Amino acid sequence: MTEPRIDYSLGEYQSAVNGALEKMRRDNVIERIRAKDYTLWKSKPDEIVNRLGWLEAPSETLHKLSDICAVIEPLKNNFSDMVLLGIGGSSLAADVFGNIFGSKLGYPRLHVVDTTDPVFISDIVQKINLQQSLFIVSSKSGSTLEITSLFKYFYNLCLDKSGSEAGRQFIFITDEGSPLTKTAEGISARHIFLNNPDIGGRYSALSLTGIVPAALIGIDVETLLQNVSSNPETLMSAGASLGATLGVLATKGRDKLTFVLPPRWKSYGGWLEQLIAESTGKEGKGILPVPDETLSDASGYGKDRVFVLFQNKNEAKPSAFESLAGAGHPVITVKIHDDYDLSAQMFIWEMATAVAARVMGVNPFDQPDVEATKKHTRAVIANLEKRSDVADEKPAMTFGQGEIFGSIHGAAPADAFRNFLKQAKAGDYICLQVFLSPSQETDEAVMGLRDVLARKYALPVTYGYGPRYLHSTGQLHKGDSGNGVFIQLTQDHAPDVNIPDNIGEEKSSLTFGALNAAQAKGDRQALTEAGRRILRFHFRTNPAAGLKAVAEMF
């Protein structure tokens, strides 16, 4: 393992950080984390003592590697594609591994299905050979609505093609005792991997959840795990120092953590986003990760920013970062030696997040506000399934491609949008919640709107595709101090895709499009209930063109 190198330029905050580091040493924080002392965070052990298994995950998984390889080795030449059905912590690490390393020659191509969008799901079916595809069903609880729905859909497709052998195309990753174990046994699944139940989803990258899919596409997972298990003390120390720094900066109002990553590592920003936002965004506090942002002049940023630059070991720091530090913004530089540094960085940032949460006074391992959206979504779905006569929401205004919903002021869409965003003030952020079918055209339109809003309002602008962000930044949106201004983007879903009520049956009471819409509505209701500011744009046709029209309003 190469020694991690993290450089800090903290300016006026250096003294406060030094004090926090000294206090951390006096309080024996690293030793107490290693000993799983829950009193570091809260006075009660609930959702702490049973969430610290990530500390041993690299060494535990390394010891299981021969068993993993015994399952995987016979599969690599038998399947052309691997489809991972997972969301949030069950899919993000595998997605990062796939994007950074890719599939090795002779191993299946990885497709991550972490959405309920019917167009995306239909596109996946068109891209793969069903009879030559291996499906990984990954869910810690075994009852995640998105995953159970996706499993029933894809299993029925395989059943039509492969008959009684369909179960041999499925591998499950879940916790012991979860409902998925019974499901897997019922279909005679090829294998069930039981993960350590003391590992939460967002901390599971180096457990079976992340490592099994990585091994299946031919990544050298032994090197990944050795990079951590060979010297965990060094990584824990680096992570603790980083966490103390982030925690102090957040308490000083520097709570917008802006990441700049090499192009190959872009997807790592999404993993960091979930880890940090879901761990710290609660009890009226939170650190907002801001990945994928186009850097602008240092004078255009507020006093709530921290910048983190990941760069290759031999690269010089860009002049833009010197300007940022010169303008008084804290700048942290992380040196990357090669792609296999990824596992060490994951462990460092897990440790950092746990320590930052301690400094902030929150429990990094629970997600108390995630249930709010699930509750409202279940109610919407129950009414749909009962065919209840539920009144449609009435638009506040119409425009060329659709309608605007919410409390608005203004005679024209542009006026309504601008007046809504006038509520945003220094220290706030704007969030685009994208319940649109992913495509290159839509991605570009979303990023275009994001850049326009960032320039216009000089605020951080984040975005996330629904429903996946509900398992990531959704906790922070409801749990922080209420400084988010939310713009939800939805669309009509036609054609749609049926979700089977049961495996082996055609009967369907719900479609993926209806589920997707229910999740968007459930989150709107949860945000409104929490007193958040939200506006919805619904596109009847061509969302990408509609987004461009919205951007042109500015």
Distance (Å, whole) CA 4 – CA 336: 8
| Other beta carbons less than 10 A from residue 394's beta carbon | 7
Distance (Å, whole) CA 101 – CA 117: 26
Element (H, E) at 192: strand 191-195
Q: Are 106 and 76 in contact (CB under 8 A)?
A: yes
Helices assigned H by DSSP within 257-391: 268-280, 319-326, 342-360, 370-385
Distance (Å, whole) CA 314 – CA 61: 32
Distances (CA, A) of 464 to 33, 214, 437, 469, 471: 32, 24, 12, 5, 11
Q: Report pLDDT for 413.
A: 86
CA torsion, ordered 47, 48, 52, 53, to nearest 10 deg: -30
Local structure of residue 481 (DSSP, 8 states): S
Q: Which structure tokens are listed for 400? A: 């060329």
Helices assigned H by DSSP within 424-501: 440-457, 474-479
| Other beta carbons less than 10 A from residue 377's beta carbon | 23
Q: Report pLDDT for 313.
A: 84
Average model confidence (pLDDT) across the chain: 95
Neighbouring residues of 268: CB distance < 8 A, sequence distance ≥ 6? 96, 100, 261, 310, 342, 345
Sites in the chain below the pLDDT cut of 50: 389-390
- The SS3 call for residue 316 is coil
306: left (phi over 0), alpha (psi -120 to 50) or beta: beta
**φ, ψ for residue 119, nearest 5 deg:** -70, -45
* Burial environment of residue 447 by CB neighbours within 10 A (0 to 12, 13 to 18, 19 or more): middle
Q: Are 109 and 58 in contact (CB under 8 A)?
A: no
**φ, ψ for residue 404, nearest 5 deg:** -115, 135
Q: Report pLDDT for 318.
A: 84
Element (H, E) at 30: helix 29-34
What percent of the chain has pLDDT above 90? 86
Q: Which residues pair with 195 in a beta bridge?
A: 175
Neighbouring residues of 409: CB distance < 8 A, sequence distance ≥ 6? 415, 416, 419, 420
CA-based end-to-end distance of the chain: 50
pLDDT tens for each residue of 490-544:
999 888 999 999 999 999 999 999 999 999 999 999 999 999 999 999 999 899 9
Distances (CA, A) of 453 to 36, 135, 179, 326, 432: 44, 40, 44, 25, 10
Strands 288-290 and 256-260, bridge-based pairing: parallel
Q: Which structure tokens are listed for 62? A: 């390394």
**φ, ψ for residue 146, nearest 5 deg:** -60, -40
Q: Which structure tokens are listed for 265? A: 């590592």
Distance (Å, whole) CA 223 – CA 256: 33
Local structure of residue 394 (DSSP, 8 states): P
Q: Are 480 and 431 in contact (CB under 8 A)?
A: no
pLDDT tens for each residue of 382-425:
887 665 544 578 999 998 889 999 998 988 888 999 999 999 99
**φ, ψ for residue 381, nearest 5 deg:** -65, -40
Q: Report pLDDT for 265.
A: 97
Distance (Å, whole) CA 554 – CA 552: 5
Q: What is the DSSP string of 236-258?
A: HHHHHHHHHHHHHHHHTT--EEE
